[in-house]
Every structure is written in structure tokens, then in C-alpha cells.
Amino acid sequence: DAGVTQSPTHLIKTRGQHVTLRCSPISGHKSVSWYQQVLGQGPQFIFQYYEKEERGRGNFPDRFSARQFPNYSSELNVNALLLGDSALYLCASSLDYYGYTFGSGTRLTVV
Amino acid sequence: GESVGLHLPTLSVQEGDNSIINCAYSNSASDYFIWYKQESGKGPQFIIDIRSNMDKRQGQRVTVLLNKTVKHLSLQIAATQPGDSAVYFCAEQSGNTPLVFGKGTRLSVIA
């Protein structure tokens, strides 16, 4: 059974560009959460979705947005990229509020 | 692989010794705690969890201790092996809120 899959694994973008990151949860999991992990720090919560509805949002600017599709996969979008957006973006899936399983992440580098 | 924590506190232990990793959590209302292991280039991997109505829980080679009075969590790894080398994060949840991660500790096992 596949775990949480994220794509792409790595990408490089230029300041001001837009990026879309994708996540497919574990089969049967209805909740997807997104985290940003800057080098040397713990993951920081960005969004949580459950059954296509936003259930929580962390302290991130409006340049960050996300959505969840009927098949429970999810996209994280970041507009007007800044150098400080360079990080590992992690997706976690869960049945509900507990039991997060993380993917391997997308390494975003903004130059 | 790329390091996930270049500036994290580091614990160095001899192979075969026991390791103790400590974590101070912030929210006295948290009722669920998890330890994660993160290796270079990977997402956090679940190790062991504990609920606030317990003060100790044991797994295979790992034990988690919870002291709610001083808001302290520890992870004990018995007979530490080279494969245990990684960054370890504690995380906490309060009710239905998202998972919140601590700062992390790098464990380095000396063969």
C-alpha cells in the first residue's frame, strides 16, 4: 500500500514566481495537512483540510493557499515567491485529527 | 542527502549505549504527544506516542516519559545503533488542533 506521495521532490523557482506542490494521501485518509520546514527548524503548520474543507490555517501570509480535491489529494500554492520561502514542504495525511503520516516532502529553492 | 537540521542541538552517544532525548513542550492543554525521527531527505517518521493520562509508554527499544507538572517529555532509546542517527522531534496536540512540533535534537551515534 502506497504511503503519502508528494510531487515534485525538488524544484527551483525564481523570486516572484508561483509554485504548486501536490500531495496524495494514504488510501482511506480524508485529512491532509501541509507543513513548512526551514533548514534547522521543526516543521511549521500551514494548512489542514478535511473532506475538502479547510479546517485550520497557520500563521502564513495570503500568498499561501491550498485546496483538497474529491479524491482527497491536495495542492499547496504559493504566489510571489520570496527567498525566505525556500524550505522543505511536507504533506501529512490522517484519518481525522490524529495519526499523521508524513510524505518525504518537496524541497523548494527560491533564487 | 541534505541535512534537515544543521544548527540543532546534538547528542552524541556510543553505539550500544542508551540515549535520552529531552523536550520541553509549551501548551499545558496538550493531551497527545508524539516523537518523530527524521533522516536526511525524508519526512518525519512516527516512533512512539503517549496520551496525557499516562506518564510512561514503552515500545520496541524506545520509551517515552511524560511529566505534565513541568511540561517535559523524554525519549529513551535502548542499545543505540548507527541506524538511530537522525534528527528527533517531539510534537504535541491539544484536542482537535493541528500537530505542533518542537525544535528537534540531532542524535549522532559513534560506532
**What would the pLDDT profile of B45-66 be if each residue is shown by its tens digit?**
999 999 999 999 999 999 999 9
Chain A neighbors of B34, CB-CB under 8 A: 100
Strand pairing of A106-110 and A10-13? parallel
Domain count, chain B: 1
**Which residue of chain A has the CA closest to B9?**
A40
- Nearest CB partner across the interface for A103, out of B5, B43, B91: B43
Provide the 3-class DSSP secondary structure of residue A95: coil
Domain count, chain A: 1
* Owning domain of residue A36: 5-110
How many angstroms away from the CA of B103 is the closest CA of chain A?
Answer: 5
* Owning domain of residue B24: 10-110
> In this complex, do A43 and B89 lie within 8 Å of one another by their Cβ atoms?
yes
Q: How far apart are CA A100 and CA A77, in angstroms?
A: 21
The pLDDT of residue B41 is 87
> In this complex, do B4 and A102 lie within 8 Å of one another by their Cβ atoms?
no
Residue with the three cell numbers 499523521 = A100
Decide if B2 is inside a domain: no
Decide if B103 is inside a domain: yes
| pLDDT beyond 70 at B79 | yes
Length of chain B equals: 111
Q: Are B101 and A44 in contact (CB under 8 A)?
A: yes
How many angstroms away from the CA of B56 is the closest CA of chain A?
Answer: 19
Decide if B66 is inside a domain: yes
Decide if B35 is inside a domain: yes
CATH code assigned at A21 = 2.60.40.10
Query: What average pLDDT does range A14-34 have in this prediction?
Result: 97
CATH code assigned at B50 = 2.60.40.10
| pLDDT beyond 70 at B2 | no
Q: List the one residue out of B2, B75, B99 whose CA is nearest residue B42.
A: B2
Burial letters A21-53, b for 16+ CB under 10 A, else e: bebbbbeebebbbbbbbeeebbbbbbbbbbeee
| B34 CB-near residues (< 8 Å, 6+ apart) | A100, B46, B47, B48, B49, B90, B91, B92, B93, B99
Distance of CA B21 to the CA centre of its chain: 6
Handedness of CA A22, A99, B47, B97 (dihedral sign): positive
> In this complex, do B6 and A39 lie within 8 Å of one another by their Cβ atoms?
yes
Decide if B5 is inside a domain: no
Query: What average pLDDT does range B73-87 have in this prediction?
Result: 97
What values do phi and psi take at B25, rounded to 5? -100, 165
Q: What is the DSSP letter of A84?
A: G
How many angstroms away from the CA of B82 is the closest CA of chain A?
Answer: 21
| pLDDT beyond 90 at B96 | no
Query: What average pLDDT does range A99-106 have in this prediction?
Result: 95
Decide if B4 is inside a domain: no
Chain B neighbors of A92, CB-CB under 8 A: 43, 99
Helices and strands: H and E segment counts in chain B: 0, 10
The pLDDT of residue B7 is 63
pLDDT digits (tens, 9 = 90+) for B3-55: 344 568 999 999 999 999 999 998 999 999 999 999 998 999 999 999 999 99
Distance from first CA to last CA of chain B, Å, rounded? 20
Length of chain A equals: 111
Decide if B72 is inside a domain: yes
Q: Are A26 and A101 in contact (CB under 8 A)?
A: yes
